[in-house]
Structure 1
Amino acid sequence: MLPDFRVRQRDYLLEIARLLTEELDLEKLLARILKIAIEMLAGQAGLIALKETEGWRVATAHNIPPAFLSYLTPLLAEEKVADLDVTELNRMLKELTYTASMGLLNGTGIALAAHGQVIGVIFIFRNYADLFSANDKALLGSFAGQAAVAVHNARLYGQVNIEKQRLDALLDSAADGILILNADLTIERVNDAFERIFGRTHDQLAGTPHAEVIRWARDPIGVPLEEAITDGWPLTPNATLY
Structure 2
Amino acid sequence: MLDRYDQQLRQLESLLRVSRAITAQLDLTSVLNLVIEAAVDLLAGSSGLIALRDDDGTTRIYAAYGLAREIWPVFDDLLATPLSDQQALVHRLREAGASIGLPLRHVSALPLMFRGATVGVIYVFRAALNVEFTAEEHQLLTAFADQAAIAVSNARLFQSVLREKQHLDALIENSADGVMILDERWRIATFNRAMELLTGWSREEAIGRPCAEVLAIHTPQGANLCLTDCPLQRQPFEPNPVAEGWITTRDGRRLYIQSRYAAQRSPQGAFLGAIANVRDVTEQKIEAEMQNTFISVISHELRTPVSIIKGYAETLARQDAAWDAATLREGLAVIIEEADRLAQQINTLLEASRLQTDSMRLELSDWSVRPLVERVVERFAPQAGDRFTFQIDIPDDFPPVHADYERTRTVVENLISNAIKYSPNGGLIRITARVSGDFAIISVSDQGIGIPLEEQKKLFRRFYRVDNRLRRETQGAGLGLFLSRVIVEAQGGRIWVDSRPGRGSRFSFTVPLATPMLSDQMASGEIETATSVDHPESTVVTLPRMEPPLLEDHER
Same fold (TM > 0.5): yes
1:111 matched to 2:111: yes
1:11 matched to 2:4: no
Give, as a single letter, the amino acid of the residue that structure 2 aligns with 1:56: T
Q: CA deviation at 1:94?
A: 2.9
Q: Structure 1 unaligned segments of length 5 or more: list them.
A: none
Within the candidate set 83, 88, 94, 2:90 is matched to 94
Give, as a single letter, the amino acid of the residue that structure 2 aligns with 1:212: E
Decide whether aligned partners of structure 1 residues 120 and 8 sit closer, same or farther in structure 2, where only a CA change above 3 A counts: same
| 1:1-242 paired onto structure 2 within 5 Å | 2-21=5-24, 23-54=25-56, 55-64=58-67, 68-73=71-76, 76=79, 81=80, 86-87=83-84, 93-101=89-97, 104-134=104-134, 135-218=136-219, 224-228=230-234, 231-232=236-237, 234=239, 239-240=240-241, 241-242=260-261
Give, as a single letter, the amino acid of the residue that structure 2 aligns with 1:120: G
Structure 2 CA distance for aligned equivalents of residues 24 and 47 of structure 1 = 19
Give, as a single letter, the amino acid of the residue that structure 1 aligns with 2:29: E
Decide whether aligned partners of structure 1 residues 185 and 65 sit closer, same or farther in structure 2, where only a CA change above 3 A counts: closer
Decide whether aligned partners of structure 1 residues 25 and 3 sit closer, same or farther in structure 2, where only a CA change above 3 A counts: same
Higher relative contact order (CA 8 A, sep 6+): 1
SS across alignment from 2:233: helix
CA-atom RMSD, angstroms?
Answer: 2.9
Structure 2 CA distance for aligned equivalents of residues 7 and 190 of structure 1 = 53
Q: CA deviation at 1:224?
A: 2.5
Check conservation: 1:38, 1:45, Cα contact below 8 A: yes
SS across alignment from 1:121: strand
Deviating more after overlay: 147-156 vs 111-120: 111-120
* Structure exhibiting the larger radius of gyration computed from Cα positions: 2
Q: CA deviation at 1:172?
A: 1.9
SS across alignment from 1:178: strand
Give, as a single letter, the amino acid of the residue that structure 2 aligns with 1:13: L
Structure 1 CA distance for aligned equivalents of residues 146 and 172 of structure 2 = 39
Check conservation: 1:109, 1:122, Cα contact below 8 A: yes
Structure 1 CA distance for aligned equivalents of residues 32 and 149 of structure 2 = 10
Q: CA deviation at 1:116?
A: 2.4
Q: Paired residues, what number?
A: 229
Q: CA deviation at 1:15?
A: 2.2
Deviating more after overlay: 37-46 vs 183-192: 183-192
Q: CA deviation at 1:20?
A: 1.2
Structure 1 CA distance for aligned equivalents of residues 162 and 69 of structure 2 = 31
1:165-206: CA deviations, max 9, x gaps? 111111122111111112332111111100112222222222
Check conservation: 1:41, 1:136, Cα contact below 8 A: no
Decide whether aligned partners of structure 1 residues 117 and 204 sit closer, same or farther in structure 2, where only a CA change above 3 A counts: farther
Decide whether aligned partners of structure 1 residues 61 and 212 sit closer, same or farther in structure 2, where only a CA change above 3 A counts: same
Q: Structure 2 unaligned segments of length 5 or more: list them.
A: 242-259, 262-556
Q: TM-score, normalised by structure 2?
A: 0.38
Structure 2 CA distance for aligned equivalents of residues 86 and 190 of structure 1 = 52
Structure 1 CA distance for aligned equivalents of residues 68 and 176 of structure 2 = 52
Q: TM-score, normalised by structure 1?
A: 0.81
1:18-54: CA deviations, max 9, x gaps? 3312x21101110111101111111100000001123
Structure 2 CA distance for aligned equivalents of residues 201 and 91 of structure 1 = 66
Check conservation: 1:98, 1:104, Cα contact below 8 A: yes
